[in-house]
A and B are shown apart, each in its own frame.
Chain A
Amino acid sequence: MSTNLSLATSINTAPQAAGTIAASSRHRLSPEEHRRLARQRRLRRELTGWAFLVPMFVFFVVFLLAPVILVFWWSTQEGSLTTGTEFVGLDNFRRLPRQIDAPIAIRNTLRFTLMSIPVTLIIALGVAMLLARVGRGGSVYRFLVYFPALVPGVVAGLIWIFLTSVDFGLFNTALRSVGVDPVVWLGPKSALQVLAALDVWRSVGFWAIFFLAAIIGLPRELYQAAELDGANGWQRFHRLTLPLLRRVILFAVVVATIFGLQVFDTALILTEGGPGTATLTVVYRIWTYIFGSTDKVGYGAAMSVALLVAILILTVIQLRLLRGQRGED
């Protein structure tokens, strides 16, 4: 592929070379002059490419690449952000499982992800199919369903504290109006579930539109043929839609997981990690290690490394999925 590109670029610059040559009234270039000109041209091409890339790349290196490398260094340190640290090797990782609440944070985050993602994606897929059926007329639905995705986590948390208020919230008011006893939504056994429900409410719209775009791209002739063959709605879904959307769905699972693992702002606002440690998440724990204590920055870094590695692995999986798709084209 690279040879084609360089061929194309040399054809690209050939007209200019031809022009220069013509302008020098058919003066034949000696080999050295030819090499010199070619080198100048290549140099200018390199500089141009880099000139356009560098502004963004500088920020990328300073604020993304460097931190990724540095966080590994930080995980071998013990101390605090501001008062200095000392090297402790891999002790942080070894001692992490015994640190207060670190395993709980990891378990909570995993449980949260397992609860919210399948529900979100299944509902989103369903909504997307309904929206595809309705077509143009569905713009109001699309607007309303998508809107929660634009709400910052903090604001969503505030809204849901109110909604789940035992005495004055919408949920219990609704329950009471049909004669059901009010529920303590944010209790120790149910807070994580409510947090997951919040996430489902926020994310369904986003993924529904995502799936909708994919569904719209599916070839219509297959469905028409299936209908002619007498396949009913469920069969069409099961045998046609699902297999065709397999890669899109897997992509959504991976990306949604990457986001799900980072859950923090909703947990902070809704329940402040509680009651107790019921909704303590990985990022929450990292944050309290760094800013809530004076010597735990190493543990925070170790958990950050774990989170980073998990996300990088998921990213690689996602890229493999993408490349496979493109390979098939």
Chain B
Amino acid sequence: MERVLTHLALILAAVICAAPFFYVIAASLKDQGSLFHYPPVWVQIPPYTGNYERLLFDSGFPRWMLNTLFVASTVTGLKLVLDSMAGYALAKLEFTGKRVIFVLMLTLLMVPFAALLIPLWSIAHNLHITNTYLALILPPLANPLGVFLMRQFILGLPKDLENAARLEGVSEFGIYWRIILPLVKPGLVVLAVIIFTDQFMSFIWPLVATTRDDLLVLTVGVAGLRAKGGVNFGLWSAAAVMSLVPIAVFFFALQRQFLARSMAGALKQ
């Protein structure tokens, strides 16, 4: 009996979370007539493809999606290298200032882009990178979350491995590249998922960093649909569906790593 209740409650939660998506998928395939029809039309047969056609051929959507995928992948790739190197340094190497830097990064870990818009924009402007891909790629590299994650993973590796390698005369970089990295691969995957998702959803910095049409990212472009086009539920629904396709596919394929995104915080306890 308790089992049944548990499942019922979970079904309710799942329905509340998922229902809006089904509603929106159905809406994306409706024309204006069905959308504004009373009594409501649940599913339009035959489905209307005009919304998607307009989205894919008439708006900047494909470009926005491309930009986001490009930026997210680049940031992820770069950060995997940068953060694992820095994490290795903080975990296993000794140098002056290590403790100060560690505390500094920890303190600024949660500082948001939102509070730093003014100086960030000013710095980007002075570096002449506003309205370039660099403006989208470089600032996110500053976030120290990845460093801590990597440090945590690398700390767990036994010291004997590196000792043995050093005795054999392997270079420091060799130790990092050929011994440490392969051993923390699961951590790298989790980090990649976290960074990619974060970049995919990022809005406020791209909003101010790039304003040229061909450099808009997905979130900013879709926001523009709301600002410029007036009410168009069909188009918005299509935009919502298409925006979620890549992330849904990734999520489905890498569920465990995605869920580790929030578990990473809990396990840190």
Contact = CB atoms under 8 A, between A and B. Distances in A.
Interface string B168-204: 0000100010000000000000000000010011011
Interface residues of A, number: 114
A141 B89 CA distance: 40
Interface string A126-162: 1100110110001111111111111111110111111
B121 A50 contact: no
Given A130-B10, A210-B263, A319-B106, A147 B248 contact: yes
A152 B243 contact: yes
Contacts of B263: 209-210, 212-213
Interface in B90-122: 90, 93-96, 98, 101, 104-112, 114-122
Nearest to A53: B89
Contacts of B259: 142, 146, 209
A223 interface: no
Contacts of A60: 105, 108, 142, 144
A71 B166 contact: no
Contacts, number: 310
B138 interface: yes
Contacts of B109: 315
Contacts of A81: 118, 121-122, 125
Interface stretch (A29-37, A100-108, A112-120, A247-255): A247-255
B89 A16 contact: no
A251 B110 CA distance: 13
Contact of B239 (A6, A155, A248): A155
B29 to A, nearest CB: 14
Given A64-B142, A141-B14, A269-B223, A52 B85 contact: yes
Given A56-B82, A140-B14, A307 B115 contact: yes
Interface residues of B, number: 103
Interface in A278-329: 283, 286-287, 290-291, 297, 300-301, 304-305, 307-308, 311-312, 314-316, 318-319, 322, 325
A-side interface mostly: helix
A79 B85 CA distance: 41
Contacts of A322: 268-269
Contacts of A269: 223, 226
A96 interface: no
Nearest to B107: A315
Contact of B90 (A53, A130, A318): A53
17 contacts: A6-B94, A15-B167, A46-B96, A48-B172, A52-B88, A53-B101, A127-B13, A141-B13, A145-B10, A147-B21, A148-B17, A158-B236, A162-B236, A165-B233, A304-B117, A305-B115, A312-B107
Given A150-B247, A154-B222, 14 more contacts: A56-B147, A59-B82, A63-B120, A144-B18, A152-B219, A153-B201, A162-B237, A168-B233, A217-B266, A262-B114, A264-B203, A269-B226, A291-B208, A322-B269
